[in-house]
Structure 1
Amino acid sequence: MHDRQAVWSPSSSARMGAIGVALACGLLCCSAALAAPAIPQPVFPELHPYLALTPTDVARARDRAARYAWAEQAMQNLTNEAKGHLAAKWDTLPDKGDQAHWGKANALFNVARAYAFTGEARFGEWVRDGLLAYADLYPGLTLTNQRCKLFSQSPLYEAMWFVPAAQAYDLVADSGLLSAEQKRHIETDLLRAGMVCFMIRDFQNDARVKDLHYRCYNFQAWHLSAVGLVGLALRDPELVAYATSSPYGLRHLIAHDIREDGLFWERSPGYSQFVVDALLPLTEALLHAGIDVYQWQIPNDRSRDEDSHYVTDVTDQPKSLRLLFDGPFHLAFPDLSYPALGDSGRGPLRAGWAHLVAYQRYRDPHLAWLLRRDMPLANADIRRGRVGFLHYYRYQYRYDQVRLNGQPVRWERTDATFERQGDTITVLDGGVRQPDHYLLNDADVEDFVLEWNLTRLAKSGSDDRAWVVYHVDTGNTGNRISFMLPSWCPELNRPYAFRLESKGADVRILCDGQLVSTEPSVYRHAPDWHWLVNDPPQL
C-alpha cells in the first residue's frame, strides 16, 4: 500500500501536484509516482457570468444573430423555448426521486441563457424564482445513503441536476434581480448544501470510497463537474481544488480513466461521450477562471495490477483530455459507424456541440472535417440541393420513368438497396428494418419539376417509410425537405403518377393529377447556443 494522506484538504492537493496523482486507501494500485504539473489557483472574474457564458460570448452571439440567418434562427429557437417555460409555476416541485427534476434544471439553464442573450427581466426573474423554490425545498430533504437528496436513485442523478442548476445561477447571480439574502439562500441552502452528496474528505473511513462510482465510471465525471461548477459559481477555491486535485479528482480521471486509445475506462463509445458531456461544462468554466485543462499532459496512472478487465494501456505515455476526441475517429468504420462495445449503440459518429467546443480549443483538422459535415446552412444554400428518394425502416417499391425537368435523372448517390434496371428502380428492404437509404441526383437544383410513377409492392404497416426528398444537403442529408408517400399510394401493384413542383417558396405535389399537399416536412440542422459563441471551421 502506498503511503498517502487519508483526509483530503486543499493543502494536500497542492502536494499532489508535486508527487503525481495519489490514490487513496490502496483500493486502486497505480504505477510509480511521476511529476505532474501543478494546477494554478482559479482567478475568479469580478462579476458573473463566467461558467457557461461570458459577456464576450453574449456579445458574439448577438452579433452572429444579426449577421447570419442560421444564427438568428438559433437565437429565436432558444428564446421561443424559454418563453414556453415561463407559464410553469414554482409553487409545486416534483417529489423526491422524480426524474422531472432534470427537466426543471434544464429549463432553468435554458431560460437563464435567454436572459443572458436578450436581457429581458422576465427570464431572469423566472430563473430566480425557480432557484429560490429549490433552495426552500432542499434543506428539508433526507440524505439517502449519503449520496442524494433530490433523488433516491444515485448521486449521478443528483449531479446531473446540479450541473445545469449551477450554470443557471451564474447567469443571473449579478443581474440585479436577486437581493443579497436571496443569493445567500441559494448559495448556502442549495448549491453548497448539495455538495455533501459528492465530496469525500476522509478517504480512510468514508464508506463511499469503496464504491467505484466515487472513483471511476461516468458517475465520478458528473460528480466532479457538479462540485467544480458550484465551487466556481461560489468563488470557493476549496471546492474547485476538490474537483481538480482530490485523490479521485479531474487530474486522476485524466491520468487513469482516459485510456490511451481514447475510450473512457468503461470501454463504451456511448459512455465516453456521456463523460465528455459531463466534463466540458466544467473545463469551459475552469478556462474562464484561468485553468486550462485542455492543455494538461498528466503522467499516465496505468494500473497494471488493477482488479478489472479494463486494463488496456500498453505504454506510459502521458494522458490528456484530447484523447477523448481522438479516440472515436480511430474506432469508426468508413461509414462512421463503430462497434457496439459495452451497451453502446453503433453510431454513426456525428458532430455535436462537444466537437464544436473541442475544435475551439484544439483546432484539430479531424474535428474540422466532422463539423463541416454538420455546418449550419448559409442563406443561399437553404433553397437548393439534391433531389431524389429516401427509404428507411421497411419498404418495397418500384419507380418508373423518373424525370427531372423533363429529362432522365443522372443519379450520383445510389445506395445498394436501390436496384436500377434501365428506366426502372426497385427498392427492397430485404425483409428487415433498415437505416436511411438515399437515391439522389448528381447536382444541386433550386426550382425544378420531378415526375415519376410509383408502384407499391408490399405493405409494411406503420414501419413503412418512403419519401421524395429535395433541397438535400449532401454534406448532411439531415438537412432536407420531403413529402411522405405511402398514404397516397394505398393499393398494391398499381402505378401512381406523381409530380413535384418547386419554385421559390412555393411547392406542391400531385398524385394522378390531383393536388395532395403543399406542406412538406422541413428538416434543417438547428444549431444550439454553442454555435452562437464558438467558432466553427468556417462561417
Structure 2
Amino acid sequence: MTRAIKQAGKIALLASITCAISLPVMAAQHPNLVINQQDVAAMKQAITQPGSFQNAFNTTQSNVDKGLAQPIEVPVPKDAGGGYTHEKHKSNYQQMYDTGIIYQLTGDKKYAEYVKDMLLQYATLYPTLPLHPMRKSNNEGKLFWQGLNEAVWLVHTIQAYDFIYDALTPAERNTIETGAIIPAALFLSEQSPHTFNKVHNHGTWATAAVGMSGYVLDKPLWVERALYDLNLAKKGGFMRQ
C-alpha cells in the first residue's frame, strides 16, 4: 500500500488494540480487527472513485499479482537480520497481508487461495522449529533471530488470516491455527514472559500480536493477558505499554 495508507494502518492498529480488544471476546464476523466489514464496504466504494485511494489499490493489486506469479517459498530459518531467509519471511507476511486485503476488496478466490497455501506451509514448518540458530540476545525468535520480528510477523499474519477466514473450511482453519498461529502466540507469551511482560517496544509488539490473535480465535484469556500481563496483575501488558 502507499506510505499514507500504511501509516494510517499503524495508527489504526494502536487504536484497535487499545479499544477493540478490551471488549468481550466473542465469535464475530470476519474481518474484525483493524479493518472490519464496515471498512471493507467503505474501501470498495472508494476504489470506484478516481483519486489517491483508487491509485493505491491499483498499485497494490499489481504488486500482489506479481507475487502470485511466483512460487511460494517458506524457508527453514537460518539467517540473521538482512539475510535471505530473514528477508523472505518478512516479504511473506507483507505479501499475505496485502493479498488478504485485495481478496476482501475484489472477492476473487485466487487471492484467498494464495494466502491459504502460504499459511498451510507455515503451519507445517512452525511446529518443527527450534530457537533460531542466529538468535539475538534473550529475546530470541524461531522464524527470526529475535522475538520482535516474530511478533511483527504474527501481527501481519493474523490479519491476513482474518481477511480470508470465511474462505476456509473448518479443517483448514484448524490446521492453520494449531500449526502456526497458536504456537506462535504461545511462544511470544507463555514461553517468552521476560519479553511479553516487559514495558518495552518488543513487549508492545508481542502483546499486540497475541491480543489480536485472541480476538480472531475467540480466546478471551489471550486478550486479557495481552492487556494486563501473563498473570493479569496489570504490571505489564498492552495497557502498561
TM-score bin (small chain)? 0.7 to 0.9
Whichever of the two has the greater Rg, that structure is 1
Instruction: Indicate conservation of the 8 Å contact 1:82/1:107, yes or no.
Output: yes
The residue that corresponds to 1:183 in the other structure is 173
Instruction: Indicate conservation of the 8 Å contact 1:50/1:170, yes or no.
Output: yes
Report deviation, 1:143. Answer: 3.4
- Are 1:228 and 2:211 matched, yes or no? yes
- Are 1:55 and 2:37 matched, yes or no? yes
Partner Cα distance (1:49, 1:214) in 2: 28
Q: Give the alignment of 1:443-522 within 5 angstroms.
A: none
Q: Greater share of helix residues, 1 or 2?
A: 2
The residue that corresponds to 1:194 in the other structure is 184
Residue 114 of structure 1 aligns to which amino acid in structure 2? I
Report deviation, 1:147. Answer: 3.8
- Are 1:148 and 2:141 matched, yes or no? yes
Partner Cα distance (1:82, 1:252) in 2: 37
Report deviation, 1:79. Answer: 1.1
Partner Cα distance (2:161, 2:124) in 1: 15
Report deviation, 1:89. Answer: 1.9
- Residue 107 (structure 1) aligned to one of 95, 100, 104: 95
The residue that corresponds to 1:248 in the other structure is 236
Report deviation, 1:158. Answer: 0.7
Q: TM-score, normalised by structure 2?
A: 0.77
Instruction: Indicate conservation of the 8 Å contact 2:74/2:118, yes or no.
Output: no
The residue that corresponds to 1:4 in the other structure is none
Partner Cα distance (2:228, 2:56) in 1: 37
Distance 1:72 1:243, change over 3 A: same
Residue 182 of structure 1 aligns to which amino acid in structure 2? E
Instruction: Indicate conservation of the 8 Å contact 2:151/2:205, yes or no.
Output: yes
Partner Cα distance (1:121, 1:170) in 2: 15
Q: Deviations over 1:94-120 (max 9, x none)?
A: 231421201101100010100001111
Instruction: Indicate conservation of the 8 Å contact 2:148/2:202, yes or no.
Output: yes
Report deviation, 1:232. Answer: 1.1
Partner Cα distance (1:143, 1:57) in 2: 38
Residue 100 of structure 2 aligns to which amino acid in structure 1? A
- Residue 69 (structure 1) aligned to one of 51, 59, 64: 51
Report deviation, 1:44. Answer: 3.3
SS for the counterpart of 1:188 is helix
Q: Give the alignment of 1:11-90 within 5 angstroms.
A: 41-44=23-26, 46-90=28-72
- Residue 221 (structure 2) aligned to one of 238, 246, 264: 238
Partner Cα distance (2:220, 2:27) in 1: 13
Report deviation, 1:197. Answer: 2.5
Distance 1:63 1:45, change over 3 A: farther
- Are 1:165 and 2:157 matched, yes or no? yes
Distance 1:61 1:41, change over 3 A: closer
Residue 181 of structure 1 aligns to which amino acid in structure 2? A
Residue 189 of structure 1 aligns to which amino acid in structure 2? G
Instruction: Indicate conservation of the 8 Å contact 2:228/2:237, yes or no.
Output: yes
- Are 1:95 and 2:95 matched, yes or no? no
Residue 156 of structure 1 aligns to which amino acid in structure 2? L
The residue that corresponds to 1:295 in the other structure is none
Partner Cα distance (1:40, 1:95) in 2: 36
Partner Cα distance (1:159, 1:233) in 2: 16
Partner Cα distance (2:46, 2:177) in 1: 34
Instruction: Indicate conservation of the 8 Å contact 1:115/1:124, yes or no.
Output: yes
Partner Cα distance (1:106, 1:96) in 2: 17
Report deviation, 1:196. Answer: 2.8
Residue 31 of structure 2 aligns to which amino acid in structure 1? P
Q: Give the alignment of 1:203-222 within 5 angstroms.
A: 209=194, 214-222=197-205
Residue 47 of structure 1 aligns to which amino acid in structure 2? Q
Instruction: Indicate conservation of the 8 Å contact 1:134/1:190, yes or no.
Output: yes
Q: Deviations over 1:410-467 (max 9, x none)?
A: xxxxxxxxxxxxxxxxxxxxxxxxxxxxxxxxxxxxxxxxxxxxxxxxxxxxxxxxxx
Q: TM-score, normalised by structure 1?
A: 0.36
Distance 1:237 1:72, change over 3 A: same
Residue 60 of structure 1 aligns to which amino acid in structure 2? A
Distance 1:196 1:252, change over 3 A: same
Partner Cα distance (1:243, 1:61) in 2: 29
Q: Deviations over 1:54-103 (max 9, x none)?
A: 1211111121222332222122112111111101223x422314212011
How many residues in Structure 1 have an aligned counterpart in Structure 2? 204
Partner Cα distance (1:227, 1:45) in 2: 17
Partner Cα distance (1:62, 1:199) in 2: 36
The residue that corresponds to 1:122 in the other structure is 110
Report deviation, 1:122. Answer: 0.6
Could you tell me which runs of 5 or more consecutive residues in structure 2 were left unpaired when the two chains were aligned: 1-20, 79-84, 133-137, 230-234
Distance 1:42 1:147, change over 3 A: farther
Q: Deviations over 1:490-534 (max 9, x none)?
A: xxxxxxxxxxxxxxxxxxxxxxxxxxxxxxxxxxxxxxxxxxxxx
Instruction: Indicate conservation of the 8 Å contact 1:114/1:123, yes or no.
Output: yes
